[in-house]
A and B are shown apart, each in its own frame.
Chain A
Amino acid sequence: MDPLILGDHQFDSRLLLGTGKFADLTTMLDAVHRSGARMVTVALRRFNRERIEDDLFEPLSRLPDVLLLPNTSGAMDAREAVLAAQIGRELTGHGLVKLEIHPNPHHLMPDPIATFEAARELAADGFTVLPYMPADPVLAKRLEEVGCAAVMPLGAAIGSGQGLATAHLLRLIIENSTVPVIVDAGLRSPSEAAAAMEMGCDAVLVNSAVAAAGNPGGMAAAFAEAVRAGRHAWQAGLMGRGETARATSPLTAFLGR
């Protein structure tokens, strides 16, 4: 057992799955199942009696051992994010929240100042705060200091599939963090998830990479294996890089030379 620990919660999977952008509910539930994720993110939406099928509370809350992690997407500032977190707590009955404030729909970059302000208020109010953030080692430390249970730096822009564009900054965040680091956003392929885990990330969150795949269930399973492989590799310790070749076979005493 190698649990991911977030506040008072433990999870036996290091892959978190988002539930957006799936073609239909059946496909999404199959992907959740095959991902082995123990935590799936959900968004808040106004109730609409004309679109009852969009209400995911009932189908998702029936999944055994899967915790619903509400996000604050749609919040334009810290005040709205705090209210969204309170709504999420009311709906799910727990205080884990993925804090995300990205007011610009063009690039969806998180607002670092509003994120910090909301994180400080929510952590003081007893929430287990998981902030989506730019890959900024200074901000990561500040968020840790105000009581966040993890930090969630982006690999690349949401839904972009650009992979670990921020790898050099993620390394700095991992080196300095005393809370779990969850790479969130931008990943496209399982190999990128494995690379993030080999680097020492504690978990990975993907959504578009699975939802937009040709076979979402198959891709969810592939990500699950990649995250496990990357974690095992990090635990085993990668060899160092060298500038020159180092032989793996003896180069002498062959055929009489």
Chain B
Amino acid sequence: MSTVRGRVSVDVQFRDSTTSASVQSLKTIALQDATEHEDAPSGFPLKVVVLSGTVGTSEITVANFGSTASYAYKNAAGVVPQFSGGYVDGVAFSYTGGGANLRCIEEGTVEKFKIQSRLNRVAVDQGRHFIPELKLQTFAVSGDTVATGSYRIVVWGL
């Protein structure tokens, strides 16, 4: 039995300034959120899984959360975590190359999100998705020719 606790935070801040006739104007855009994650009040324990590897232009299924056989990550107790509540509540995704997209599929066909990462920028989706599959492939972006790269995906849920 393992216990998972943690935090996911997003911090966005931009400063937009201009000076005209000795008058400086400044606008600051900010969006910040930090959410603590723990077991659900309903009793389902929080789970986390890390998926990593390399991917190319052919789409691969990196995990199917209806089956623990689809991923190899083991928790602190040495067991492959099972999302017994059925819900994935967040996915953070990073890819080293020029571009890769990660698709979240429910019920075999319903696409719930398609997020992209390139050059190690982390994309994160924090919707609730029921027993999804995650599929990954590289994507050509603006002349980048890198067709294979490394990915890291962190998934949390119940």
Real complex partners, A and B? no
Which residues of B pack against A, CB within 8 Å? none
